[in-house]
Each structure stands twice: as structure tokens, then as C-alpha cells.
A = this chain, B = another copy of it.
Amino acid sequence: MKLAVVGGGSTYTPELIDGFARLRDTLPIAELVLIDPATERLELIGALARRIFAKQGHPGRVTTTADLDAGVEGADAVLIQLRIGGQAARLQDETWPLECGCVGQETTGAGGLAKALRTVPVVLDIAERVRRASPDAWIIDFTNPVGIVTRALLRAGHKAVGLCNVAIGFQRKFAALLDLTPSDIHLDHVGLNHLTWELGVRKGGPDGEDLLPGLLAEHGAAVAEDLRLPRALLDRLGVVPSYYLRYFYAHDAVVRELGGKPSRAAEVAAMEKELLGLYADPSLDEKPELLAKRGGAFYSEAAVDLAAALLGDGGPGPASVQVVNALNNGTLPFLPDDAVIEVQARVDRSGPVPLAVPRLEPLYAGLVAHVTAYEDLALDAAVRGGRERVFKALLAHPLVGQFDLAQGLTDRLLAHNKEHLAWA
């Protein structure tokens, strides 16, 4: 089995490598290709990857290349984990929306649109080259905004699945709080990428007992603190929203908070630099502690599970039920079939098929429908370009919605992303 990782030079990658090494029984990788145009950084990561594999006795071969076409040739699966424009672009996404009184975040709101505009054309181009080089390969997209990017890939006819670590994070967190093993936890995880709610926490499987009421009663405070949302919100709703719903449920407070703090620029840049310094140490043969602070926890577990299911023999074991981003196809009846949703799905060689989900209450469904309409326009703007399409996507976003804000955000988005947008 050959696996290619596009964006393999990311400082995240050792997290992934560590998972591949630990979980080699689940996903027996013969060749792992790390692909990245940033060759210096790539070599650093590649060498560390080899040391991690060696230490853990993983027999697979790790190679590196800046040549995308060569790298994905013959791959069974291709993970895409990019950040077009790097941390610099992310920091822009977090900053200029604040000038208009709107939340600055790289996957939500106006910042998320900027990222989509930068990213979609690049990922579509990569996918096209993957299709030419390895027509049967599965594309696993971990590149944000995962929902819009996956929708772009599927609309263009690619064999693609979108992956996010929010659900697996909740699964592990809840398992720890409930003193259960993660595989005993089935989440009624419903919504769009970064706009999901855990409607139930079931023991044993989709039809198991719902542990959520007890979990909230006993551990509500801990869960709320983690999400940085008021405990009363969880109590009144009786469900657990994703962390990213903070940008909706506490929008103005977050804007105020961001305006009262330094931007995260220095902090993140420093951490990246420190990580690269650690990676360069030839005696390092495991992922360093510091990486845990970088985000992306359990990403490797989720990726291994997903790749194993997509490439495996398709047996109906519990491991093949996973939260992914996939076509709606009637799962959420109020959304178009070709919307991309994030839910539990049965995954095998033929791809993901969403499981039936509990009815999503109007309290959540209304917001989901609104954001889906925005994503439609965002995808349109990303693929076809043009200031008016950007403006309409922003006006359509529930966190924007006002004319002057949409105008101010459009102008700033274009001014700050000129170099990344071919049409601007």
C-alpha cells in the first residue's frame, strides 16, 4: 500500500507519522511519500519520519519529493493537508475581519471564505493531477475549510472524503470522562464541518443507550470550559456544540476578546520555529511534547482509520463507522443532496455512506441551512472568482448578513489575498 501526503512538510506531519507507526496493524503502509515544494523543511520532516518508523520497527519506506505528479503516481490514497499562504495568510484571516467588527478566524466567517478562495483552486488542481497519475486513488482532504473543499472535489467528480478531528476529539474526551474505551462511544454527530452538534453519546453503537444527559449532568462544567462556552448554554440545549460554534453563540464577545489581546502572530511563529528546531535534532525519534499544543490531536488516528476503511477489505467491523464529510444524499432532508455534511458514515472501499441521523431540530437546522447556502456561494466564488461573488457569499453568511459589513469585508479580503487569487 502506497500513501502520499501532499503538504508533507507541515510541522503537523510528525503527529501523522507517529500514528502510522503506532497503528501499522490497522494500516500496513509499504511506502509513504511526503510531498512538498518546501524542500528544506520537507527533508527535515522526512528524516524525522524515518527515525520514528525505525524506532517503532515499522517496515515501511518513507520518501520525499517536491514533484507532485511523481509522488502520487501509483498511490492508493492521497492525503491533502495544505495551508496556502502559510501562517502569514492565516494571521491575515484572523485580523482584517476585526476591522469590520466581525470575528477573525481561519475557517469560519469572512476569514474562512478567504481560506476557501485561496485553497479550492489549488486542491482541485492537485486532485486533477492525482486522477491522471492514479485514477483509483482515494483523496482524503484534511485541508480547511474541509466542508467547502470536499464539496469542490466531489462536484468535480473526484473520489474524495473530507476528514476533521473534531468528532474524534469529542469521542476521546467523552470516553475519558465516562471511563470507557473510545470504541465504545458512538456519537450522534450532525451538521456541517465546524458547525456540528453532538446530539447523543451512545454506548456501544448507533442504537446504544444515550449517555449524553448523564455526561452533561456530571461533567458539564468540564465540557463547557473546554469549549469556552457558558455551561448554561449546554444545560439549556442539552447537546454539545463544536468548539467552532463559539464564533456563533458568542460572536460579539469573541470579537471583543480578540480586540483586547495581541494577535497570535508572534506566538504561533515562535512555536513553529521551535518545532523545526526540535525536528532537526538527529537524536529525536518520536513526536515531541510541544506538538500537542499545535492542535490537530488525534488527527493521525482518524486518518489511519479512514484510510484503512477506504483501502481495506470492506468488512463491516465497527471500526469502519466513522465521522466524515460526505455527500448528504437525503441524510439531512432539508439540504440538497449534493451538499456535503459531517456525520457518522459507514466507510468501505466504495466510499462513505452516511448513517441515518436523529432529526436535527429547527434550532440547529435553520443555521445549517443558512451556512449551506453560504457554502454554495463560497464555492462558486472560489471556482469562478470575481468581486461580486465574494460579496454575495459574505452577505449570505449568517455572521455577516449586513450590507456595509459585506462591502468592507469584500474589499479587505481582496486586498489581503491578491497574490493568492489568480483572478483578483
Contacts and interface: CB of A to CB of B under 8 A. Distances in A.
B370 A404 contact: no
A362 B404 contact: no
A100 interface: yes
A373 B334 CA distance: 11
A395 B248 CA distance: 10
A213 interface: no
Nearest to A404: B260
A330 B253 CA distance: 40
A412 interface: yes
A392 B233 CA distance: 11
Interface in A237-295: 248-253, 255-263, 265-266
A391 B374 CA distance: 26
Contacts of A363: 373, 377, 392, 395-396
Given A98-B98, A260-B404, A367-B370, 16 more contacts: A229-B403, A230-B403, A248-B401, A252-B402, A260-B403, A260-B407, A262-B411, A334-B334, A362-B373, A363-B377, A363-B392, A363-B395, A366-B369, A366-B372, A369-B370, A398-B398
Interface of A: 95, 98-101, 104, 229-230, 232-233, 236, 248-253, 255-263, 265-266, 334, 336, 362-363, 365-367, 369-374, 376-377, 388, 391-392, 395-396, 398, 401-405, 407-408, 411-412, 415
A408 B260 contact: yes
A64 to B, nearest CB: 35
B395 A262 contact: no
A259 B377 contact: no
A327 B234 CA distance: 35
Contacts of A266: 415
B259 A100 contact: yes
Nearest to A369: B369
A124 to B, nearest CB: 20
A396 B362 contact: yes
A13 B366 CA distance: 37
